[in-house]
A and B are shown apart, each in its own frame.
Chain A
């Protein structure tokens, strides 16, 4: 019961505490308007290059932009504690680590999914892309799964923030990496072989592919495999992230580097 409380209530309170600065004046320009312009930029580059339809870029970039809230926020959920000198208080508490860390991921996933869903809706309206209404529930699920799998990667990033100082830099690099490798803007078939191989193990790749098929009118059953793979990728990243957090926690205790910022 206590673990459930830590998971749900603790996660929510932590999110509110660490993101008290995320006011509408910051949220709207960074997470509502910016993704729309990312979609427009790539849609116009795509038109210039004569590569794919607007729908391709709307779906790819809307989902991929969930990386910003998922990577940065997940890192902040742990790195932010260190910055505020509350990390040691949390790590000496007897709370179980799984609800403690994964509870923090829930608001991150929800926010990431909201950002992606809003961008998708706005991009669709602005560029006049036609997505069947019947696809909306399945698309919502795919978006949620994409945000979950990227949050798994965010947990790894968060673990690394226990050791490295410039975690925002690392998040930026990961964002760029995902932009290129997940097929958000370049069809996977056009990427060099080694990039295609890497893309298979990254968050978003399968979710974006599934979302594109759904937007083209496919039934959920036909993309269930892609969605399942995306969930699996998210679980693997989350497991690695958790193991890394515990490892870094141990290292930080051993070498007294917990509060080193």
Chain B
């Protein structure tokens, strides 16, 4: 019960904290709207117009990925810079319960992206927001966000090894947008990218949201999202444990 409370309070605190950051507002609202506008214009002008709702959902998911990538990837490094990492690790609850609310909050901030791209599309590009399976959509959305937040836990645990986490974030933003088919059809990508897309939460998250909104059977994609989330949780748990011990042994916890 106390751990659940810690999870909730940590999530709420980090959500409020991130909402005050101009950088996160850019990443989660303005940038997805820019990419959505571009894609709307491209699909509208192209020979294969496609569904604009497909684009709006994809652009929203791009923002969720970006905020998770930059927020979770830099989470531990920021704590180092602010001098709070030692306190967080020394606190009685396991460290994972301190980091997890933060990584889920970074993914939750991405909901601003989905809201803004859907609103933008509706206001300026006549994108209808009519859900074929509203019930599935309501289920798919939190699971997609949670799954990305758990992927964020893996990022937070592994990026700590790389001193330039922000640069690594820059490196991974576009490739993941591409291989998870957020704005393009996965079938267009080379075959070797397929296994990569299968193990990445945004692939299933966006598939679940699209099939709930546009039509299809989102059940499998939602299950895959949830299943991958559990796998990320296990990987993140062991990585955090390992790196925490390593940092204590080598006395490198506070080294920025």
Residues of A within 8 A of B (CB): 23, 25-26, 29-30, 33-34, 37-38, 40-42, 44-51, 166, 168-169, 172-173, 176-177, 179-180, 185-187, 190-191
Q: How far does the alpha carbon of A19 sit from the alpha carbon of B166 in the complex, in Å?
A: 16
A48 and B48 contact, Cβ closer than 8 Å, known pairs A37-B175, A41-B178: yes
List of A residues within 8 angstroms of B25 by Cβ = 169
Which of A30, A46, A50, A180 has a CB less than 8 Å from the CB of B34?
Answer: A180
A187 and B45 contact, Cβ closer than 8 Å, known pairs A44-B184, A48-B184, A180-B38: yes
List of A residues within 8 angstroms of B45 by Cβ = 49, 51, 186-187, 190
Write the chain A residue with the least CB distance to B172: A29
Write the chain B residue with the least CB distance to A195: B41
The answer to whether A172 touches B31 (Cβ under 8 A) is yes
Write the chain A residue with the least CB distance to B54: A48
Which of A37, A48, A172, A190 has a CB less than 8 Å from the CB of B188?
Answer: A48
The answer to whether B42 touches A34 (Cβ under 8 A) is no
What 0/1 pattern do residues 25 to 42 of B give for CB contact below 8 A with A? 110001100100111011
Q: How far does the alpha carbon of A26 sit from the alpha carbon of B185 in the complex, in Å?
A: 31
Write the chain B residue with the least CB distance to A38: B174
Q: List 24 A-B contacts (CB under 8 A).
A: A29-B167, A29-B171, A33-B171, A34-B171, A34-B173, A41-B174, A42-B38, A45-B42, A47-B184, A47-B188, A48-B48, A48-B184, A49-B45, A50-B47, A50-B48, A51-B46, A169-B22, A172-B26, A172-B31, A173-B30, A176-B31, A179-B38, A180-B41, A190-B44
What 0/1 pattern do residues 144 to 184 of B give for CB contact below 8 A with A? 00000000000000000011101110110111011000011
Write the chain B residue with the least CB distance to A68: B170
List of B residues within 8 angstroms of A37 by Cβ = 173-175, 178
The answer to whether B47 touches A51 (Cβ under 8 A) is yes
From A30, A40, A41, residue with most partner B Cβ within 10 Å: A41
List of A residues within 8 angstroms of B47 by Cβ = 49-51
List of A residues within 8 angstroms of B39 by Cβ = 45, 49
The answer to whether B38 touches A185 (Cβ under 8 A) is yes
Q: How far does the alpha carbon of A21 sit from the alpha carbon of B129 in the complex, in Å?
A: 46
The answer to whether A30 touches B167 (Cβ under 8 A) is yes
Q: Say if the beta carbon of B8 comes within 8 Å of chain A.
A: no
The answer to whether B174 touches A48 (Cβ under 8 A) is no
Q: Give 16 new A-B contacts, CB below 8 A, not counting A51-B46, A169-B25, A190-B45.
A: A34-B170, A37-B178, A41-B184, A42-B38, A44-B183, A45-B183, A45-B184, A48-B46, A49-B42, A50-B46, A50-B48, A166-B22, A169-B23, A173-B26, A185-B42, A187-B45
From B50, B174, B177, residue with most partner A Cβ within 10 Å: B174
List of A residues within 8 angstroms of B22 by Cβ = 166, 169
List of B residues within 8 angstroms of A48 by Cβ = 43, 46, 48, 50, 183-185, 188
Q: How far does the alpha carbon of A38 sit from the alpha carbon of B48 in the complex, in Å?
A: 21
Q: How far does the alpha carbon of A180 sit from the alpha carbon of B167 in the complex, in Å?
A: 24
Q: How far does the alpha carbon of A186 sit from the alpha carbon of B38 in the complex, in Å?
A: 7
Top 9 closest A-B pairs, CB basis?
A49-B46, A37-B174, A176-B34, A50-B47, A29-B171, A51-B46, A190-B45, A50-B48, A26-B167
Q: Say if the beta carbon of B215 comes within 8 Å of chain A.
A: no
Write the chain A residue with the least CB distance to B176: A37
The answer to whether B170 touches A179 (Cβ under 8 A) is no
Min CB–CB distance B204 → chain A (angstroms): 19
List of A residues within 8 angstroms of B175 by Cβ = 37
The answer to whether A25 touches B164 (Cβ under 8 A) is yes
Q: Say if the beta carbon of B246 comes within 8 Å of chain A.
A: no
From A29, A49, A186, residue with most partner B Cβ within 10 Å: A49
The answer to whether A25 touches B171 (Cβ under 8 A) is no
Q: How far does the alpha carbon of A29 sit from the alpha carbon of B162 in the complex, in Å?
A: 13
Q: How far does the alpha carbon of A45 sit from the alpha carbon of B178 in the complex, in Å?
A: 9
Write the chain B residue with the least CB distance to A47: B188
Q: How far does the alpha carbon of A168 sit from the alpha carbon of B49 in the complex, in Å?
A: 35
Q: How far does the alpha carbon of A34 sit from the alpha carbon of B42 in the complex, in Å?
A: 21
Q: How far does the alpha carbon of A173 sit from the alpha carbon of B198 in the complex, in Å?
A: 33
Q: Say if the beta carbon of B189 comes within 8 Å of chain A.
A: yes
List of B residues within 8 angstroms of A30 by Cβ = 167, 170-171
The answer to whether A29 touches B170 (Cβ under 8 A) is yes
List of B residues within 8 angstroms of A42 by Cβ = 38
The answer to whether B38 touches A41 (Cβ under 8 A) is no
List of A residues within 8 angstroms of B164 by Cβ = 23, 25-26, 29
Which of A29, A38, A172 has a CB less than 8 Å from the CB of B168?
Answer: A29
Write the chain B residue with the least CB distance to A49: B46
Min CB–CB distance A79 → chain B (angstroms): 14
The answer to whether B189 touches A44 (Cβ under 8 A) is yes
A25 and B42 contact, Cβ closer than 8 Å, known pairs A49-B49, A176-B30, A180-B34: no
Write the chain A residue with the least CB distance to B162: A25
List of A residues within 8 angstroms of B178 by Cβ = 37, 40-41, 44
